[in-house]
Amino acid sequence: MSGNYMERSLAQIAIFEGSVAWMYVDTVGKVTVGVGLMLPDVAAAQALPFLAAGQAASAAQIATDFHRVGAMAMGHLANFYKTPTCLQLDEATIQQKLESVLAGFEVKLRAKWPNYDQFPDEAKMALLDMAYNLGPDGLLKGFPTLVRSVTAGDWKAAAAECQRRGPAPSRNDWTKSMFLAAAEAAATPHHAAAAASVPTHS
């Protein structure tokens, strides 16, 4: 696979989630911004450097916009929640936040699988997509059969267990294809020898 797996993950998740500079309501009724970043409360929104007409927004302005959006109906495209004066994040902030979130998720994945760094890149990409979509706990607790397959390094079995409810079929298909590609990569002599030298833990 060409390119760094994290760079490829960042790009692919941005395609799946979309990137929206202003706050909107997602498909489950949560205020969201950037690349699918859910904002559970006003404080979470106020922790981000929102801009008002190109200038740093105040905490009061952020609270007002958060509540405005939160009171609106879900089920609309992101542009429905945009107004001429709504607060926005710049692209650099959105990208930085996405990178930070994924890095934090990798910490949890490494805690579960100490040999995570020896996984094929395709497996890491599949796991990161699932973690971003479901949250790490949603992945690790909600897919026990997949977790056991990953622990065993059985990527074909993981491919058969990665179907999620909610994402578009194309996203589930992509994740499955990554696990299947990981199975092919793991079968190469070089990768198989490297993986065999690292102990696994459940």
Q: Are strands 37-38 and 51-52 parallel, antiparallel or unpaired?
A: unpaired
Q: Is 182 inside a domain boundary?
A: yes
Residues 125 and 59 in one domain: no
Backbone angles phi, psi at 24, to 5 degrees: -145, 175
Residues 79 and 123 in one domain: no
pLDDT at 166 (0 to 100): 83
Q: How many domains are there within the chain? A: 2
pLDDT at 83 (0 to 100): 96
Of 57, 4, 3, 9, nearest to 33 by C-alpha is 57
Strand partners, 24: 32
pLDDT at 191 (0 to 100): 56
The CA-CA-CA angle for residues 146, 183, 129, to 5°, reads 50
Query: What gap in Å lies between CA 168 and CA 45, rounded to an integer?
Result: 27
Q: Is 105 inside a domain boundary?
A: no
The last residue of a domain, from among 49, 67, 94? 94
Q: Which residues of the chain have pLDDT under 50?
A: 1-2, 193-202
**Full residue range of the structural domain in which residue 161 is found:** 113-196
pLDDT at 198 (0 to 100): 44
The last residue of a domain, from among 30, 61, 94? 94
pLDDT at 188 (0 to 100): 81
Q: Is 166 inside a domain boundary?
A: yes
Residues 44 and 83 in one domain: yes
pLDDT at 28 (0 to 100): 86
Q: Is 2 inside a domain boundary?
A: no
Q: How far is CA 19 from the centre of its chain?
A: 12
Show the tokens assigned to 34. 């950037």
Q: Is 100 inside a domain boundary?
A: no
pLDDT at 27 (0 to 100): 85
Residues 74 and 123 in one domain: no
Helix 169-186 vs helix 5-17: angle between axes, to the nearest 10 degrees?
160
The H or E element containing residue 150 is helix 144-152
pLDDT at 75 (0 to 100): 87
